[in-house]
Structure 1
């Protein structure tokens, strides 16, 4: 379990010199489209989670639906985001081939950021994020999801922020990383309110 201090911190370590997070020429997407909430997204997650569980069995310590498609009534990019916890994300031999056989492709390798790996599936579109048991990101993603599910004002604020960021990024020819940067201030403000409400930070 990550520490309270790690959960409330925003870890953004620099890429080590000479390294790249992108695998085999992959790079950030540029197709930034925000669509209205789709009631089939939970079903798509269930199908994907079944594929992951079928591929890894008990090696999948945790599988959870995160990101905007996990929040009812929230506009989102039509991509299912999933967090997967394995014992050691750096031990790719223990899980990667099985996930590739299940239709996932490794796109990102960031051992300097809690061992993070990201895989992509196209049917349906999915970003699968792999972390270890001690990663605070898994806890943070769940906090953000649950806070937006239970707080309509912040859900509406985030929806408006996403639409504005997508429009500005598209108009400027930016990629997904730059789109995320445009949302970052509001995301952190929402996290701050959630952390205080949950007793993780003092108000």
Structure 2
């Protein structure tokens, strides 16, 4: 079996997780789906594309706010793919100048957000499996009522608990997310 050649990067990627501002305890709650989320996404997509130009390989609305009918935390998640995550000079200053603030720098992933913390912009490379996973989950939740209901029930159960930060809450959803993605992958293979 041949392996693809590793991507040439301008420099080595970071090795650790840098959480700018440290751990933040936030009130977690869900609200019913709001159609204005799609319009808010479009506003930020235009802002991101204007800031990055061709440095943005793709810009996608992801997460629960991208799924009509799904209750969500009122935080718009956006996926931006860039050719080289280590070439921060190609995208990071531009996003900061556009009004976003740095939150996370970790291997293969950067996250900027609005100062109001109501938009999270996840930055990955196009061939990062996490990028495909975000889209796979979104598309499965859009297409399958049972999976959407399971995910919402799980989120409602978890949001009722006390979490030290939003990352702990997100980690607690991993098992159900993996279950839904496995079903989506099976469907993708069957339909191929």
TM range, smaller chain: 0.7 to 0.9
Task: Tell me the residue number matched to 2:72.
Answer: 76
Distance 1:141 1:98 in 2: 24
Length, aligned pairs only: 178
Distance 1:62 1:78 in 2: 23
RMSD value over aligned CA atoms? Answer: 1.9
Task: Tell me the residue number matched to 2:136.
Answer: 143
Task: Tell me the residue number matched to 2:183.
Answer: 193
From 174, 177, 180, the equivalent of 2:164 is 174
Q: Does 2:152 align with 1:155?
A: no
Distance 1:164 1:28 in 2: 21
- Deviation of 1:133 (Å): 2.1
| TM-score normalized by the length of structure 1 | 0.82
Task: Tell me the residue number matched to 1:21.
Answer: 18
- Deviation of 1:30 (Å): 2.3
| TM-score normalized by the length of structure 2 | 0.86
- Deviation of 1:167 (Å): 0.4
Distance 1:29 1:44 in 2: 25
Q: Can you give the 5+ residue segments of structure 2 that lack an aligned partner in the other structure?
A: 4-13
Q: Rate the CA distance shift 1:28–1:124 in 2: closer, same or farther, 3 A.
A: closer
Distance 2:32 2:120 in 1: 19
